[in-house]
Structure 1
Amino acid sequence: MDWFTAPGYWLARLIFQRALAGVYLVAFVGAALQFRALIGAHGMLPVPRYVRYVPFRHAPSLFQLRYSDRLFAGCAWGGAALAAALAAGAGDEVPLAAAMAMWAALWVLYLSIVNVGQTWYSFGWESLLLEVGFLAVFLGNARAGPPVLVLWLLRWVLFRVEFGAGLIKLRGDSCWRKLTCLYFHHETQPMAGPLSWFFHHLPKPLHRVECAANHVTQLVVPVLLFTPQPVASYAAGIIIATQLWLVLSGNFAWLNWLTITLAVSAVDFTGIAGPPPAAASRTSPVWFVVLVCAVTALVLFLSRHPVLNMVSRRQVMNRSFDALHLVNTYGAFGSVGRVRMEVVVEGTADRVPRADGDWRAYGFKGKPGDIYRIPRQFAPYHLRLDWLMWFAAISPDYARDWFGPFVERLLAGDRDTLRLLRDNPFPDAPPVHVRALLYRYRFTTWRELRETGAWWHRTLVREYLPPTRLADARASEPE
């Protein structure tokens, strides 16, 4: 079946699979290290409470059948171990069916986590990892040639990621059409990186060039993925270069790295990789051909939803149309904030809280707090609490479900919650009161940085949460 396989893409598949396994590894490790405070049995949004009200058909997950923190940790660390094995090439050392089972196990385990993760797992890159991970099950291993149909489906995912993001920008914020969004974006993005301050201070004409280049990369280049080689490879290369630029300018978890991984699958390495191994040219088993054809038909059928969404004037971003996250719609930054707000959480040991009392700020790992601390690079690792704090600063409605429980755990000195933070200003005993203040943050100028050493300048806007004791923390909500 010469039509079914593309032996020349054996190296592209190898790199894709190793890189995808690496992304899975980061995702599982992050889940294992953060889940207890976020969704554990005693977390801010506990899984047991969630599955009591959400039926299996709406959120299929192993944890619908049984949940314990020990079981969750076992699944997360087990997924990490399996991902590490696949990244090391274990999938190529076993029969085709066994390799498919390994990739399927990764997908089931991570699907089980995402579908009970609630707000903490509501990001577009979760669905993207699941969609790409599902297709990876049918990509085969070194004992079979890369299936052409799956390679095209991977390009279809990449097209939707880029083209959907490009459309939502043109339809959304007017600054994208005026080419001025990057006057603000590097400063107001969810989590700045160590180079974001410098990107923000690039000349405005260069920011306009960045915006224009973004439109070309997301609206024109993706179409070229479906053209003959070497044009498709050039298009993939442009996408990879753009994603690396985004990696340097901010922290977007594994979104950029997974997009790069998808782009690699479209690159024809024939000229540098040499002839494919003999195994990559073998005729695929009939059962594998039938299965791949069936999956292709299923994906094409389910693709009607994201296609209709892309052509709609009411296009939405990052939406799953089925509980298995098989085919989704994507997008990013349909609107760009002009002002950066940050919630600063403080505690005091004073029995009677005073505005001028001894308030000490909790330090977060990634989100801005200390104005003298340069932003750090965490991506592809995802700091879920830090990201949700960015949304909380935009509107208290985004934090209504979890901010009260978060404050309650600070007042109780909960160790799992404190592990999510960089600094605990109360190492000996928890505070008596916790409050939250809303500040406006902006990057300092070159002159301010030289004179003060501060990367940020901040101005108090208002009280976000009044001083709260443990007894009433659960009932308190930010104003």
Structure 2
Amino acid sequence: MRWFTEPDYWLARLIFQRTLAAVYLTAFLGAALQFRALLGEHGMLPVRRYVARTPFRRAPSVFHLRSDDRFLACWAWAGCAVSAALLAGADALLPLWAGMLLWAVPWVMYLSVVNVGQTWYGFGWESLLLETGFLAVFLGNDEVAPPVLVLLLLRWVLFRVEFGAGLIKIRGDECWRKLTCLDHHHETQPMPGPLSRFFHHLPKPVHRVEVAANHVTQLALPPLLFTPQPVAGWAAALMIVTQLWLVLSGNFAWLNWLTIALAASALDLSGPAGPREFPPAPVWYEAVVIAVTVLVAVLSYRPARNLLSRRQVMNRSFDPLHLVNTYGAFGSVSRVRYEIVVEGTAERTPRTDTGWRVYEFPGKPTDVRRRPGQFAPYHLRLDWMMWFAALSPAYARPWFGAFVERLLTGDRDTLRLLRHSPFPPDAPPRYVRARLFRYRFTSRAHRRETGAYWERTYVRDFLPPTRLDPDDDR
């Protein structure tokens, strides 16, 4: 069928596939380095406990069969190896069917991780990676031109990402309608980046322009993705510009880069030389792509209905395979930044003059003199959940007690998640406490005078001084 493929998009496909492979590599690397402390045999939320109470049909995962630390590590590092091979272009060296199978491997492997990840993997970009990765299986390699139907399905994902986020904002916090949300957001976002303070101190009229541009990008441009070129390409290009702006202004794991990859798949990059020549697509391949398109169309009913609902929810999966999902971000914006500061002491009995020493996290603010770092697309899961815990103790209930317990025992895997521990693993603290502070970016004058990026004010105790066993006088 002549209409089935579109040779003009071969370069767009290549950019999309290599970017997706890089995101996969980042995701598996994060699992390899963090999974043991978060979900391992002695982790804060062990996988073995979760699979013992959760049926396979609700959370399909290889870890129902085995979930020891050695197997978890091998699985994550194997995912890194497959992702690196795809990043290097291994799929282009294989027959079409084998290339498709190779792309299916990281999807199946990461699905196993997400489905047992619990709180640590409850972010919208996990489902976005799985949905995008599933469609990438059917995008083909150098043996066939990109199939039109899969290109349209990728635009359908991008539409839901952008339009869903735009709708949740307009329906949510009134500051989005008043164009004032960015007066606060750059300071209160989950994990500020090196330039977040600069963005925060931009003049308020610039913030109004930022919000208005966001509304245009997320509400006006997405329908244009389904128009002929060059309109669709220009809409996608503007989305890429917006995403790069977000990359500069904060750390949102791989959300922005995956959105850029989706938008890149809608660009017509054929150039003056014209399209490449490809052989006709095999009949079996056409049949598979058509079947997948029908499947996605059927599964799109609930996400599409959610977009139209006044009770729109964001970042929801409607099936255990995460094939078609709903997305959105920042339906409400915090006006105040709270941070939990975790401290420990080796003293036998804490007193008012006790010298408490601070645990430093790699991404979340603690030391007021330390400039926020750039970590995205890498995802610091504990740092992100600490931000949520500061908003409400309910977010911390499943795991915070286990985290404190591991600090009190000097658990090496947990300490590796931190930037700095004031206590070595073989000499852990006797007590740990947590206090809540309000953090603000310093003014330019204050920054010049003190060298501090933040100023903070004590709010209240989050966790009183706690020890493992009150009867233990180590």
Fold match, TM over 0.5? yes
* Higher mean C-alpha deviation, range 243-252 or range 81-90: 81-90
* Higher mean C-alpha deviation, range 131-140 or range 427-436: 427-436
Residue 398 of structure 1: aligned partner: 395
Residue 359 of structure 2: aligned partner: 362
2:408 counterpart (396, 405, 411): 411
Residue 222 of structure 2: aligned partner: 222
Residue 268 of structure 1: aligned partner: 268
Residue 25 of structure 2: aligned partner: 25
What aligned pairs does 1:305-344 form with structure 2 within 5 A after superposition? 305-344=302-341
Residue 170 of structure 1: aligned partner: 170
Per the TM alignment, residue 25 of structure 1 is displaced from its structure 2 partner at its CA by 0.3
Residue 461 of structure 1: aligned partner: 459
Residue 444 of structure 1: aligned partner: 442
Per the TM alignment, residue 286 of structure 1 is displaced from its structure 2 partner at its CA by 1.0
> Residue by residue, what CA displacement relative to the aligned partner does 1:3-58 show, whole Å, maximum 9, x if unpaired?
11001111111111111001000000010000110000110000000000000011
Looking at structure 2, the residues matched to 68 and 84 of structure 1 have their Cα atoms a distance apart, in angstroms, of: 25
Residue 118 of structure 2: aligned partner: 118
Could you say what secondary structure the match of 2:2 adopts? coil
Per the TM alignment, residue 277 of structure 1 is displaced from its structure 2 partner at its CA by 3.5
Q: Normalising by the residue count of structure 1, what TM-score does the alignment of the two structures yield?
A: 0.97
> Residue by residue, what CA displacement relative to the aligned partner does 1:217-246 show, whole Å, maximum 9, x if unpaired?
000011111111011110010000000000
**Structure 1 stretches of 5 or more lacking a match?**
474-479
Residue 244 of structure 2: aligned partner: 244
Could you say what secondary structure the match of 1:24 adopts? helix
Looking at structure 2, the residues matched to 37 and 82 of structure 1 have their Cα atoms a distance apart, in angstroms, of: 23
> Residue by residue, what CA displacement relative to the aligned partner does 1:280-307 show, whole Å, maximum 9, x if unpaired?
x211111111110000000011101111
What aligned pairs does 1:78-117 form with structure 2 within 5 A after superposition? 78-117=78-117
Looking at structure 2, the residues matched to 163 and 63 of structure 1 have their Cα atoms a distance apart, in angstroms, of: 35
Looking at structure 2, the residues matched to 98 and 275 of structure 1 have their Cα atoms a distance apart, in angstroms, of: 28
Could you say what secondary structure the match of 1:341 adopts? strand
Looking at structure 1, the residues matched to 353 and 463 of structure 2 have their Cα atoms a distance apart, in angstroms, of: 16
What aligned pairs does 1:44-83 form with structure 2 within 5 A after superposition? 44-83=44-83
What aligned pairs does 1:345-356 form with structure 2 within 5 A after superposition? 345-356=342-353
The Cα RMSD (Å) is: 1.0
Per the TM alignment, residue 471 of structure 1 is displaced from its structure 2 partner at its CA by 2.5
The residue type paired with residue 246 of structure 2 is L
- Number of positions where the alignment pairs a residue of Structure 1 with one of Structure 2: 470
The residue type paired with residue 366 of structure 1 is G
Could you say what secondary structure the match of 1:270 adopts? coil
Could you say what secondary structure the match of 1:253 adopts? coil
Looking at structure 2, the residues matched to 291 and 98 of structure 1 have their Cα atoms a distance apart, in angstroms, of: 14
The residue type paired with residue 424 of structure 1 is S
The residue type paired with residue 101 of structure 1 is L
Looking at structure 1, the residues matched to 433 and 416 of structure 2 have their Cα atoms a distance apart, in angstroms, of: 19
**Structure 2 stretches of 5 or more lacking a match?**
none
Residue 127 of structure 1: aligned partner: 127
Residue 258 of structure 2: aligned partner: 258
1:380 counterpart (377, 382, 386): 377
The answer as to 2:300 corresponding to 1:303 is: yes
The residue type paired with residue 137 of structure 1 is V
Looking at structure 2, the residues matched to 238 and 385 of structure 1 have their Cα atoms a distance apart, in angstroms, of: 33
Could you say what secondary structure the match of 1:471 adopts? coil
Residue 285 of structure 2: aligned partner: 288
Residue 137 of structure 1: aligned partner: 137
Looking at structure 2, the residues matched to 276 and 93 of structure 1 have their Cα atoms a distance apart, in angstroms, of: 21
Looking at structure 1, the residues matched to 451 and 3 of structure 2 have their Cα atoms a distance apart, in angstroms, of: 62
Looking at structure 1, the residues matched to 351 and 253 of structure 2 have their Cα atoms a distance apart, in angstroms, of: 39
> Residue by residue, what CA displacement relative to the aligned partner does 1:382-424 show, whole Å, maximum 9, x if unpaired?
0000000000000000010100000000000000000000011
Could you say what secondary structure the match of 2:457 adopts? strand
* Higher mean C-alpha deviation, range 452-461 or range 463-472: 463-472
Residue 43 of structure 2: aligned partner: 43
The residue type paired with residue 435 of structure 2 is L
Looking at structure 2, the residues matched to 8 and 70 of structure 1 have their Cα atoms a distance apart, in angstroms, of: 46
Per the TM alignment, residue 472 of structure 1 is displaced from its structure 2 partner at its CA by 6.9
Looking at structure 2, the residues matched to 296 and 227 of structure 1 have their Cα atoms a distance apart, in angstroms, of: 19
The residue type paired with residue 55 of structure 1 is P
The residue type paired with residue 154 of structure 2 is L
Per the TM alignment, residue 71 of structure 1 is displaced from its structure 2 partner at its CA by 1.1
Q: Normalising by the residue count of structure 2, what TM-score does the alignment of the two structures yield?
A: 0.98
Per the TM alignment, residue 68 of structure 1 is displaced from its structure 2 partner at its CA by 1.4
Looking at structure 2, the residues matched to 355 and 285 of structure 1 have their Cα atoms a distance apart, in angstroms, of: 76
Looking at structure 2, the residues matched to 471 and 229 of structure 1 have their Cα atoms a distance apart, in angstroms, of: 68
> Residue by residue, what CA displacement relative to the aligned partner does 1:175-233 show, whole Å, maximum 9, x if unpaired?
00000000000000000000000000000000000000000000001111111101111
The residue type paired with residue 439 of structure 2 is Y
The residue type paired with residue 406 of structure 2 is R
Assess if the C-alpha contact under 8 Å between 2:7 and 2:275 holds in 1: yes
Assess if the C-alpha contact under 8 Å between 2:8 and 2:276 holds in 1: no
The residue type paired with residue 71 of structure 2 is L
The residue type paired with residue 275 of structure 1 is G
> Residue by residue, what CA displacement relative to the aligned partner does 1:157-189 show, whole Å, maximum 9, x if unpaired?
000000000000000000000000000000000
Runs of 4+, deviation exceeding 4 Å: none
Assess if the C-alpha contact under 8 Å between 2:433 and 2:463 holds in 1: yes
Could you say what secondary structure the match of 2:460 adopts? strand
The residue type paired with residue 363 of structure 1 is E
The residue type paired with residue 347 of structure 1 is G
The residue type paired with residue 135 of structure 2 is L
The 1:271–1:277 alpha-carbon spacing in structure 2 relative to 1, beyond 3 Å, is closer
Identity %: 72
